[in-house]
């Protein structure tokens, strides 16, 4: 059963009661909140996710709750909780959706160690994964949002989830936070995209979330091996360049971009070594979506 099959009242009852339990890839998630504005937003943004049977194990239990502040007695604040803990300070009510999504990312990053977690977008084309590892601000979310609407299946804009022994990547298609100038870029380039509300004033500026395509969510149990690793960077006015990258440099960039490389030790070393040896490695510089799409299509058609 999908979230979209629930009425708003049924959906609200789950969120306000024992929790909305949904599948988000290799994990199950339980979300609780009684905030009416957030309930309406999630009913739209989570429409295509499948509900989890009550007998299945849920890895993460998260909540968004109202908070009072002595210093700001009239402010309407909310806070993210995971298993009763509060890793973030309270934020204004209007930022409930963004603090929920960032909180879920944090929980995945710090609690998952049976998979190797690359800080990387990942998409699939022609039955194989294209990894797009990059530091924050390099444009990987915007690029993967564009690819998702141009024939690529979204795995994630944030995590490359790899089973270290088998080399398989797990899809984790979640809401993608567009920030500041990238919001209007996507509004203009992808008018068909489903976007959430504009959330100003966050620590990262103004944020708007883009929903994964329904196909990406419907196929979130289909794992695939990687074939291409491309390190993207958006540079204003730059001509598109897709250049080979030495495997040694790709290894170093991947290893330093992994959340839990040191925690996994030798397992991670062997996994990254095998991954790099089995992939074509490139560096992409671009300023225009159409140009980037052309060279990435040529690469993934080969």
- Cβ atoms of residues 142 and 179 within 8 Å: no
* pLDDT computed for residue 112 by the predictor: 92
Task: Tell me how crowded residue 218 is: count the other CB atoms within 10 A of its CB.
Answer: 16
Q: Evaluate if residue 56 carries a pLDDT over 80.
A: yes
Task: Tell me how crowded residue 233 is: count the other CB atoms within 10 A of its CB.
Answer: 18
Concatenating the DSSP letter of every residue in 45-84 gives HTTTPBBPPTTS--SEEEEEEEE--SSSTT--EEEEEETT
Strand, helix or coil at 245? coil
Residues 10, 12, 17, 19, CA torsion sign: positive
Strand, helix or coil at 166? coil
Average pLDDT along the chain:
94
* pLDDT (tens digit per residue) in 173-210: 999 999 999 999 999 999 999 999 999 999 999 999 99
Nearest CA-CA partner of 180 in 213, 150, 142, 149: 142
* pLDDT computed for residue 54 by the predictor: 83
* pLDDT computed for residue 137 by the predictor: 75
CA-to-CA separations, 117 to 61, 86, 185, in angstroms, rounded: 20, 23, 28
* pLDDT (tens digit per residue) in 126-171: 999 999 998 777 788 999 999 999 999 999 999 999 999 999 999 9
* pLDDT (tens digit per residue) in 220-271: 999 999 999 999 999 999 999 999 999 999 999 999 989 999 999 999 999 9
Concatenating the DSSP letter of every residue in 168-212 gives EEEP----EEEETHHHHHHHHH-TTS-B---EEEETTEEEEEEPP
The structure's pTM equals 0.94
- Cβ atoms of residues 116 and 264 within 8 Å: yes
CA distance 107 to 101: 10
Q: Evaluate if residue 33 carries a pLDDT over 80.
A: yes
Q: How confident is the model at residue 55 (pLDDT cuts 50, 70, 90)?
A: confident
Residues 267, 268, 271, 277, CA torsion sign: negative
- Maximum Cα–Cα distance across the chain: 61
Kindly state the DSSP code that residue 18 receives in the 8-state scheme: T
């Amino acid at each position: 059963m999908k979230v979209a099959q629930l009425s708003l009242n049924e959906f609200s009852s789950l969120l306000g009661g024992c929790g909305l339990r949904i599948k988000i890839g290799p994990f199950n998630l339980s979300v609780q909140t009684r905030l009416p504005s957030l309930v309406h937003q999630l009913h739209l943004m989570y429409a295509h996710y499948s509900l989890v049977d009550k007998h299945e194990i849920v890895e993460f239990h998260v909540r968004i709750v109202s908070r009072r502040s002595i210093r700001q007695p009239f402010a309407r604040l909310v806070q993210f909780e995971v298993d009763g803990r509060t890793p973030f300070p309270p934020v204004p009510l209007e930022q409930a959706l963004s603090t929920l999504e960032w909180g879920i990312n944090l929980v995945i990053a710090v609690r998952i160690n049976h998979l190797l977690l690359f800080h990387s977008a990942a998409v699939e084309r022609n039955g194989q994964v294209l990894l797009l590892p990059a530091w924050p601000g390099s444009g990987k979310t915007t690029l993967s949002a564009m690819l998702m609407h141009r024939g690529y299946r979204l795995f994630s804009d944030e995590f490359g989830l790899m089973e270290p022994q088998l080399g398989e990547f797990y899809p984790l298609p979640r809401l993608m936070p567009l920030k500041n100038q990238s919001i209007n870029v996507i509004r203009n380039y992808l008018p068909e995209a489903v976007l959430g509300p504009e959330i100003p004033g966050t620590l990262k500026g103004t944020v708007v979330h883009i929903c994964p395509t329904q196909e990406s969510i419907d196929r979130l149990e289909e794992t695939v091996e990687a074939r291409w690793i491309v390190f993207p960077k958006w540079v204003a006015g730059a001509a598109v360049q897709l250049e080979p990258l030495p495997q040694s440099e790709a290894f170093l960039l991947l290893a330093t971009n992994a959340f839990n490389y040191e925690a996994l030790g030798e397992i991670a070393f062997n996994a990254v070594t095998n991954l790099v040896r089995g992939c074509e490695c490139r560096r992409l510089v671009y300023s225009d979506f159409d140009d980037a799409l052309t060279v990435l299509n040529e690469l993934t058609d080969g």
